[in-house]
Amino acid sequence: MKPLLTPAEFEDRLRAIGAERYHSLHPFHRLLHGGNLDKGQVQAWALNRYCYQAAIPRKDLTLMSRMDDRELRRAWAHRVAEHDGLGDNPGGIERWLILTDGLGLARADVMSMHLALPATRFAVEAYVRFVGERSILEGIASSLTELFAPAIHKARIAGMLASYDFIGDTVMQYFRRRLEEAPKDVGFALDYVKDRARTPDRQQAVLDAVRFKCDVLWAQLDALHFAYVEPGLPPPGAFIPDDRQ
Amino acid sequence: MKPLLTPAEFEDRLRAIGAERYHSLHPFHRLLHGGNLDKGQVQAWALNRYCYQAAIPRKDLTLMSRMDDRELRRAWAHRVAEHDGLGDNPGGIERWLILTDGLGLARADVMSMHLALPATRFAVEAYVRFVGERSILEGIASSLTELFAPAIHKARIAGMLASYDFIGDTVMQYFRRRLEEAPKDVGFALDYVKDRARTPDRQQAVLDAVRFKCDVLWAQLDALHFAYVEPGLPPPGAFIPDDRQ
């Protein structure tokens, strides 16, 4: 039988998943942040990652649509506004489009998603389905990869600005903003799972949900790496950088 | 073959559904607004209607979770905040609870919904499922009963304040607020369906969705009338007013 972890042990186990499985460890990210990709490869990354960004509000709305607890919905609602925008805030999806604009991609190509890798979209939709089908606890737990995000965003801002002459400060605003938002978001979710996962089975379900989410992120980079780095074989219909057409 | 209606004809047909089927026509509402119910019957109405109020954000979130169009999600998002509350606005559900407080019902009894009629909950969940399964156009169309709501809210405020000594101004704030919100909400939805329903089949789907929604509202009053007015047979486990226990 699995032991019940103390809250501190449980949080340590959650954080250990990041140290083992978060996509900051993927070779594609080492290349991206180290300045070792060409512009076409960075375009491919931004164009595919748009699919993920664009799905996040649907993911949060799917989860919220299943919450019977009004207080919980209220605590979660700002996430949708952060991504879709609200009032003067254009939102994270718009900020991602500023990045793809800056990389010279046409918005119609990015937003239609028709040049994205099928594997990207499969992984993204698996995430939306996960929060629609699993328990609310697991759905909330799957957001906890935000625990690991600030480090990768800092490395990305510094590395990409230093390394690529086609990346300027304006286009990196998505990541600067997430450095402010993600720590606030993750504090609520971490407290929630620590409070609610009071049996060994529920603790295990939370840990599995975080691993699942790491898989969703990692699979997107595997597909990019395969298509655009090594061996570099984009599937039929996928984005081809200008200099390879 | 069905003809394609002009936008004006189409709007006339939509409004005609209200004149035939909106729950303002139900005998229970005539009794409620005319001061012909006793306090226990008004309690039963408010306690059951809470199930509907509490489900509206899940309904809107379910619909939004399926919208690929960010602009459409942004246009719909304020509905959730209106019901769940946001910042200083406690929201429509809280305002409904102020009504049930004023009627002397315990919040735990109202919010747990365990005293509500099963038929109420079946009708409410049918509405949530409808927007999860039908087209976005039909989901948006199903909100169009708001076209008919201001008249019933005005009649309700005037009739209930004049008729019942156990109803004061404070507890009617839900309806006053909806008099401001609903016309703004429905303008967007009406424009949307007029713009998007450009084939006879799509026009028919919109009309059917509004009829479905009228059925959802009507069925709730049928169940109340049967249980608490005539013949007055609450099903096992349902709310029983104090003076009949």
Residues of B in contact with A80 (CB under 8 A): 64, 73, 77
Residues of A in contact with B67 (CB under 8 A): 58
pLDDT over threshold 80, residue A245: no
How far is Cα B118 from Cα B33, in angstroms, rounded to an integer?
24
Average pLDDT over residues A157-161: 92
pLDDT computed for residue A177 by the predictor: 92
pLDDT score of B1:
67
Q: What is the distance of C-alpha A119 from the center of its chain?
A: 15
Q: Which amino acid is at A217?
A: L
Q: Widest CA span of chain A, in angstroms?
A: 57
Task: Please say if the pLDDT value at position B181 is more than 90.
Answer: no
- Return d(Cα A227, Cα A117) in angstroms, integer: 8
Residue B167 identity:
I
Q: State how far residue B156 is from chain A, nearest Cα, in angstroms.
A: 26
Confidence check: pLDDT of B183 > 90 = no
Taking the CA atoms of chain B, what radius of gyration do you get in angstroms? 18
Chain B residues touching A133 at Cβ < 8 A:
none
Rounded CA-CA distance A166/A160 in Å is: 9
ipTM more than 0.85? no
Q: Are the Cβ atoms of B65 and A68 closer than 8 angstroms? A: no
Asked if the Cβ–Cβ distance from B84 to A68 is below 8 Å, we say no
- Evaluated on CA atoms A140, A142, A144, A146, the torsion sign reads negative
Nearest CA-CA partner of A131 in A228, A194, A64: A64
Convert B45-106 into a string of H (helix), E (strand) and C (coil): HHHHHHHHHHHHHHHHHHHHCCCCCHHHHHHHHHHHHHHHCECCECCHHHHHHHHHHHCCCC
Alpha-carbon distance B190 to B212, whole Å? 16
Q: What local confidence, expressed as pLDDT, does residue A1 receive?
A: 67
pLDDT band at A27 (very low <50, low <70, confident <90, very high): very high
The size of chain A, in residues, is 245
Q: What is the C-alpha separation between B117 and B213, in angstroms, rounded? A: 19
Please give the angle made by the CA atoms of B77, B79 and B81, to the nearest 5 degrees.
80
Residue B244 contacts by C-beta under 8 Å, 6 or more apart in sequence? B40
B185 pLDDT band, cuts 50/70/90, is confident
Contacts 24+ apart (CB under 8 A), B89-98: B91/A70, B92/B53, B92/B56, B92/B174, B92/B177, B92/B178, B93/A70, B93/B53, B93/B54, B93/B56, B93/B57, B95/B173, B95/B174, B95/B177, B96/B46, B96/B49, B96/B50, B96/B53, B96/B174, B97/B50, B98/B170, B98/B171, B98/B173, B98/B174
Q: Is the peptide bond before A231 cis (omega within 30 degrees of 0)?
A: yes
A80:B73 CB<8 A: yes
Q: What is the mean pLDDT of residues B114-131?
A: 94
The answer to whether the CB atoms of A58 and B67 lie below 8 A apart is yes
d(Cα A156, Cα A167) in Å, to the nearest integer? Answer: 11
Q: Tell me, what amino acid is at B108?
A: A
CA distance B1 to B199: 11
Sorted by where each starts, the structural domains of chain A and their CATH numbers stand as 7-229 (1.20.910.10)
Query: In this complex, do A57 and B73 lie within 8 Å of one another by their Cβ atoms?
Result: yes
Q: Residue B171: enclosing H or E segment and its boundaries?
A: none
Give pLDDT tens digits for A179-224: 998 888 899 999 999 999 999 999 999 999 999 999 999 999 999 9
Q: Which residues from chain B sit within 8 angstroms of residue A70, using beta carbons? A: 54, 57, 84-85, 91, 93
Distance CA B20, CA A196 (A): 49
Contacts of B74 in chain A (CB under 8 A): 84-86
Q: What is the mean pLDDT of chain A?
A: 94
CB contact under 8 A, A73 and B57: yes
pLDDT, tens only, B88-117? 999 999 999 999 999 999 999 999 999 999
The pLDDT of residue A190: 97
Strand partners, B86: B89
Evaluate if residue B216 carries a pLDDT over 70.
yes
d(CA A25, CA A28): 8
pLDDT in tens, B28-75: 999 999 999 999 999 999 999 999 999 999 999 999 999 999 999 999
Chain B interface test: which of A64, A78, A111 (most B C-beta within 10 Å): A64
Number of helical H runs and strand E runs in chain A:
11, 0
What tens digit of pLDDT does each residue of B133-158 get?
A: 999 999 999 999 999 999 999 999 99
Whole-prediction pTM = 0.88
Q: How crowded is residue B14: how many other Cβ atoms within 10 Å of its Cβ?
A: 22
Query: Is the Cβ pair A86, B77 closer than 8 Å?
Result: yes
User: HSE-up of A204 (CA within 13 Å, CB side)?
Assistant: 7
What digits encode the pLDDT tens for the residues A61-99?
A: 999 999 999 999 999 999 999 999 999 999 999 999 999
If pLDDT is split at 50, 70 and 90, which confidence band does A159 have?
Answer: very high
Question: Is B62 in Cβ contact with A70 (below 8 Å)?
Answer: no
Share of chain A above pLDDT 70, in %: 100
* CB pairs A-B closer than 8 Å: 65
